[in-house]
Structure 1
Amino acid sequence: MMFYIKLAARNFKKSLSNFAPFLLATTVMFAMTFIIANIAFSPGLDKLAGAQYAKFMMIAGLVIVVFFSIIIVSYSYRFLLKQRTREFGLYNILGLNKRQISTISFWELVIAFFLTVITGTIVGLILSQFFFLIFIKIIGASYFNLGISVVAIGLSVLTFFIIFCLLMMFAFLTILKHSAISLLKDNSRSEREPRGRIIVSILSIVCLGTAYYMAITIQNPLVALMSFFIAALLVIIGTYLLYIGVTIFVLKRQKANKAYYYKPEHFITTSSMLYRMKTNAVGLANITILVTMTFVTIATSVALYVGVKEVILERFPKNTDVRTFGNDVNQNKTKLDKFIKDNQLDKTSRLTYSSFTTNTDFKPDQAKHLKITTENTITDDDAALLFVTRKDMMSIGNTLPEINAGQVLMYTVQGRRDVKTMDWYGQQLSVNQVSGKLKRVINPYTVANAYIMVVKDDQELLKLVNLFNKSNVIKDKDGGITSQTIIVNTDTLLDISEKKQAKLLAKEIDGVSISTKTNTISMMNGLTGGFLFIGFLLGMTFILGAALIIYYKQISEGAEDKRSYRILQEIGLTKKEVKQAINSQVLIVFFMPIFVGIIHFSAAFLMIDKLIKLFGISNTSIIAKVSLITIAIISVIYYLIYRKTSKIYYRIVER
């Protein structure tokens, strides 16, 4: 046994250039897994505000990172194994049987596993402290005591133990099923020229077209949430089929076009790409999917984090919201006045308004008339309606046109509906749609459409409430009475010192609810901050995966192209023409994924915009700006990866 261990150790030293990319991949992925697990299972996390949301996001991110660790580590080992099959073949010829070769491979993986665990744990411990500081900064907390989680170490080691067991099985199967001759030839084996399959190309167009259609046509955010994963799966399948089918079909057409094909730069590029496109297709599809996922995760998490902060600022024009509720506006206001007096609060700068909210089917007919009755059900045309009074809106600093009894001003928060008249449980109302937005009003939280309906005064408001409550008293089969009652809320927005906020929040007062900007920010930061942090780490993981695949492609394709380009030079092609052909091929192969990824993300943006509305964010411009910045930054990083790895390709080919 010591012989095999020494031989495996010697192989590591002699072939360190081959093992280095694999060890880099395993160490980095182990460190990423450990960092997330260490933060997720640290006792220090439980002491942060919004910890339950942050922990949920961490565990969800951990599952995704583990999944991609399996993919990236497997891809890295497959490349390493291909580089070493010739060496295994020589061992076989020199007298070692396949079982002995498998034993050497086993001990090599054991050494790699321990190096990964030791190095990854050290790197993870150092970086987890750094990343936890970033996380603390993101969520706006001041507590810092991460510590070391034994659970995180155990979980990370167990995960990679299972991954390395899978690698061992793959190595054993590869060695056992090949003869010595096939092992010697395996690392230089090229793919046969693939056939252009029209059916595969059509399926690709159908999958991508269906996913894009879903993204464009789905309007309801809840439906978008349920459909997102279906659309993502269709995009993944369509992307693989795109490269396997459509790219080959296009290359075949180029080859058939004699005027295009029989030019040195086109002839070499087209022939080379077509000859081994089957291998290229899978790698290019992997890169495209990873780049697209990087766009989606980073853009979504940043837009959510920035957008929620804007929503909270709109939600709290002052730092505290005190709400009373009941069916009598005067009683609500009396209760508020008593609350302010009892707690010695400054009432001079308060903003007070009364409102009620309801959800209903909101689809006008062709005459732009909307009828709301007890028969209305919640559908895809569901909308949240917030009713307020013109008098209150004017008192808190808004400017509104004059209205009379029986008239409504309609402000759009989210959605598009053209309404001229409305039947509110038998009450005929004239609707005047007004552009712009109301200041200092808490917009109705909704996942679909939302509108603010302004009536003349408290009398009109209570009239609509009474019509609703009277119409929604229903007798069931047993003669019992069931009813759905609307409650009128009266909100007072105040600026209160943090000390008084804490005292008020500690009290339980009947008929009064209190919420503060500080508490709301802390709660939402736990969710959106965790989402941003995980999005950042996942984005790094996806970019790393794409970079590794690009690196492996450059090395493997450089080795394959080296002999081909040498032969072309020997038969008369100049070095300049060879370099032009190389540049043409590299540009096409390595910029196609980023181009396709941007197209995928452009379609996904429409669905992302709807999903973010689940958090009350209706400002599409924020999402658009964040998305454009994300695309620009990731494209620059991708270009730098291309520049670095293309030099490796050129060095191999030009040797």
Structure 2
Amino acid sequence: MDRSGVNFFGVPVQGRSCITIFSLSHLRWEVMRMFGKLAFRNVKRQMGNYLIYYITVSLTIALMFAFNSVVTSPDLAEKARSFSDIAGGLVMISVMMALIVAFVLGYASSFLLKLRKREFGTYLTMGMTRFDMILLFTMETLIIGLISLVTGILAGIFLYQVLMSLLSSLMEISYSFSSYSLYGFLMTAGLVLLVFLLSSVTCALYLFRVSIYDLIHGSRKNEKPVRHPMFWFFVTLLSIAGIVAGAVMFYQEMIHIFRDMEALPGRMLMSLLILAVSVFFIHVGASRCLADLMLRFRTFCSRGTNTFVLRQLSGKLRSNSILIGIVAFLITFAVIGSDFSLLMKTFMQSSTDHSYPFDVNAEISASSSPAVSISEAEQILEKYDTVEDRTDYTVYTNHQRYFFEFTPWRGDGFEGLVDSYISESDFNRVQKALGQKTLHLEDTFWIYSSSPQIQSLDFRSAAPVLNGKTYTYGGMISSSPYIVRKAYFLIIVPDEAVKQMAPLLYCSGFSLKGGEYDIADLEKEFLYETPSLVSDRILLASDYEFKQSGWEYASQASGIFVLGALYIAVIFIFLAMAVLALKILSGVSEDKRKYRILTQIGADRMTASKALFCQIFVFFILPFVLPLLSAIPCAVIGQKACTLLGYVSHPRAAYFISGGIALVILAGYLLYFTVTYLTARRHILEY
């Protein structure tokens, strides 16, 4: 009996509906198989064009897999106590970068479409629908994506061990072969799927909007000349001035913030905004005026193919000036972020050395009985390690605020702060234990602080009267570690000056032999319960601080911070170089006709190849010059920051870090430039 129904396409049919649906389904399967064969053939034929895309996707997937494996690593969670606190933030970084990669790869895929627009225009004229064309291109990118996923995961397996080794070195923990996480693989696969879905949507929108005429005759469009090149030259000069002003403002504001605790970072944020805007507009302006101004130099233009190259660059730089500005902005701030993330590692390590002068540091309030006395602490420490030396010293106070009147912490709201004194003999005892210089005071007092804010204050007019005697200012000590953390600063005075003062803190520093023990178990021995000052909760506190614990926390936190910053920077740089490369390759059909004319009027293949090299080199190098040069001010500012913070043992670290990052970027640039030039030359000159 005949039955009514609909076929595979939704068209009503009468009778034998099951057979009809089966036949149409079989036909549709044959069409899909035909598209698959065509997609494989196109990928094989267009492999040279897809090489940049393939390299970028493979490297990106390798980085994503390695980073996600680190984030979900069970070995790292066991070794690093601070890792679990920020693992969620690292996951958010991974997701955010996946969205950025999806957007950029979708944008890059549109360049691949433009590279083959005549081919797709031919498909449309032959009767292929836009949906079929989108399906075909999606299959091609899916094939490239699957190949990239395999090679990316294989490279990521090796890169994961490299990252774990690097992170272990940064975090000061032992490295062993790290097991792989299934969650890391699943996270990467999910993010890669998200990337290709979003990038496919971008390509689909382009194919739906573009007309057949643009696909067939797009290469014949004339590029518009640059208007008002002198105006853009003025914009470029103004942007250069903005970069200099922003860097100087940032440098001065950094010094001001280091020296003034109450300083707000508003001007520093403003300087960064000025730098960002200037970096963008200096490249937009240079792109729109550089070639046109060079064309005015007749002597230069009369040599070889200089006029041809400049005219080529004039149109290409003008039409891509916004893109070049964005790429330069991303690379510049990727360099700055990488530099300062690595400098942060140096800062935190040096800060730990300053904050923990001894292996174990005790500061016990003299106004209350301690939960663990210094003698009891020594006995506890002996159970874990050998105590090689113990240095006792006392901080005194006269319950006055004389010296705080020379600081910003005076007046209402700071009534609880009192002057803290240490005797000459106690201070020299600590200095000898730390291998520092001792003092001979006579009738002077000295201020001791490692804080840049305190060092910027003027105590020269101070003349305290202590125990019936007036003392004058002798100077400030700023290079020694923090021997007392509970005081803003210490006033070093002769022994007789503290005879009438009351003890404020009983301090002691323990130097251990350096045996192996669990620092977490040792810290538990010194914990005691204390009521919270702001709630009804009971908190755990300790009068003892451990250098090993502080070092571990600083190394782990800074190591993870560096890893996240470098991951973001490398992704940005790879994507920026890929966009530039694909943008160049998307215009080879226009360039092919012009270079053919160049050879027809007398230029040999060598001359044409040299002209193409110069054209691609200038287009490629323009967004990279400033990022590479930005390593110099980053190194200067980093070195000054090290000096201001008192880390005189690490001033050259900033230069090594900035130079290393610049070399890495240069290596990536050479890779992408070489592949781009060779691919373009094959398309343009081999005819």
TM range (shorter): 0.7 to 0.9
Q: What is the match of residue 446 of structure 2?
A: 408
1:268 aligns with 2:277: no
Matches within 5 A, 1:223-302: 231-232=271-272, 234-302=274-342
Cα 1:624–1:390 change in 2 (3 A) is: farther
The match for 2:12 is: none
Give the CA deviation at 1:80: 1.4
Which AA in structure 2 matches 1:488? Answer: L
Query: Are residues 652 and 247 of structure 1, via their aligned partners in 2, closer, same or farther at CA, if it must alter by over 3 Å?
Result: same
Give the match for residue 571 of structure 1. 601
* Paired residues of 1:218 and 1:224 also in contact (CA < 8 A): no
Does the C-alpha gap of structure 1 residues 324 and 91 become closer, same or farther in structure 2, counting only changes over 3 Å? same
Find the residue that maps to 1:174 and give its secondary structure.
helix
Name the CA shift for 1:78/1:240 in 2 (closer, same or farther; >3 Å): farther
SS in 1 for 2:508: strand
Aligned residues of 1:8 and 1:105 also touching (Cα < 8 A): no
Aligned counterpart for 2:43 among listed residues 1, 5, 15: 15
1:320-368 per-position Cα deviation (integer Å, ceiling 9, x unaligned):
323323359xx88x942454367658777223334589xxx9999xxxx
Q: Superposed, which structure 2 residues align to 1:152-191 within 5 Å?
A: 152-186=184-218, 191=223
What TM-score, normalized by structure 2, do the two folds share? Answer: 0.74
- SS, match of residue 374 in structure 1: coil
The answer to whether the 8 A contact 1:411-1:435 is kept is yes
Shift of 1:91: 0.9
Q: In 1, distance between residues paired with 2:519 and 2:408?
A: 41
What is the CA deviation profile of residues 457-511 of structure 1, one whole-angstrom value per residue up to 9, with x for unaligned ones?
4854985x99xxxxxxxxxxxxxxxxxxxx6351323215445966642313669
Structure index of larger Rg: 2
- Call closer, same or farther: CA 1:572–1:394 in 2, change over 3 Å: same
Amino acid at match of 1:540: V
Q: Which runs of 5+ in 2 are unaligned?
A: 1-27, 529-540
2-structure distance, mates of 1:509, 1:399 = 34
| CA distance, structure 2, for counterparts of residue 185 and residue 327 of structure 1 | 88
Judged with a 3 Å threshold, the aligned counterparts in structure 2 of structure 1 residues 585 and 445 are, in CA distance, closer, same or farther, namely farther
Residue in structure 2 matched with residue 506 of structure 1 by the alignment: 524
Change in CA separation of 1:419 and 1:232 when aligned onto 2, cut-off 3 Å = closer
Task: Supply the AA of the counterpart residue of 2:424.
Answer: R
Q: For 2:97 and 2:246, locate their aligned partners in 1 and report how far apart those are by CA, in whole Å.
A: 25
**Quick one: distance in 1 between partners of 2:119 and 2:206?**
13
CA shift, 1:183, in A, is 1.2
1:474 maps to which residue?
A: none
Q: Which moved more, 1:607-616 or 1:45-54?
A: 607-616
Farther-moved stretch of structure 1 (418-427 vs 639-648): 418-427
Pairing partner for 2:428 from 376, 384, 394: 394
**Equivalent residues of 1:44, 1:144 under 8 A apart:** no
Matching residue of 2:665: 634
The farther-off stretch of 59-68 and 27-36 is: 59-68
Query: Which of 410, 421, 444 is matched with 1:374 structurally?
Result: 410
* Other-structure match for 1:309: 349
Counterpart in the other structure of 1:544: 574
* Number of residue-to-residue matches in the alignment: 617
Any gaps of 5 or more consecutive residues in structure 1? Answer: 467-486
Q: Structure 1 residues 638 and 500, CA, compared in 2 at 3 Å: closer, same or farther?
A: closer
Contact 2:107 2:202 survives alignment (8 Å): no
What is the root-mean-square deviation of aligned Cα atoms in Å?
4.6
Secondary structure of residue in 2 paired with 1:59: helix
Q: Say whether the 8 Å CA contact 2:447–2:477 is kept in structure 1.
A: no
Question: Matched residues, percent identical?
Answer: 15
Specify the alignment match of 1:218 in structure 2: 253
Residue aligning to 1:432: 474
Residue type matched to 1:419 in 2?
A: D
- Normalising to structure 1: TM-score of the pair? 0.78
Cα drift, residue 399 of structure 1? 3.2
SS at match of 1:421: coil
Q: Secondary structure at the match of 1:212?
A: helix
State the AA in 2 paired with 1:433: G
The alignment partner of 1:494 has SS state of strand
Do the aligned residues in 1 keep the contact of 2:450 with 2:646 (CA within 8 Å)?
no
Q: Which whole-Å CA distance do the structure 2 matches of 1:443 and 1:47 have between them?
A: 33
- TM-aligned CA deviation for residue 89 of structure 1: 0.7
- The question of whether the paired residues in 1 share the 8 Å contact of 2:450 and 2:482 is answered with no
Distance 2:623 2:396 in 1: 51
| Counterpart in the other structure of 1:25 | 56
What's the secondary structure of 1:276's corresponding residue? helix
| One-letter amino acid of the structure 2 residue matched with residue 218 of structure 1 | E
- Of 155-164 and 228-237, more deviation after overlay is shown by 228-237
Structure 1 residue 93 displacement after superposition: 0.9
Worse-superposed segment, 408-417 or 559-568: 408-417
Aligned residues of 1:225 and 1:611 also touching (Cα < 8 A): no
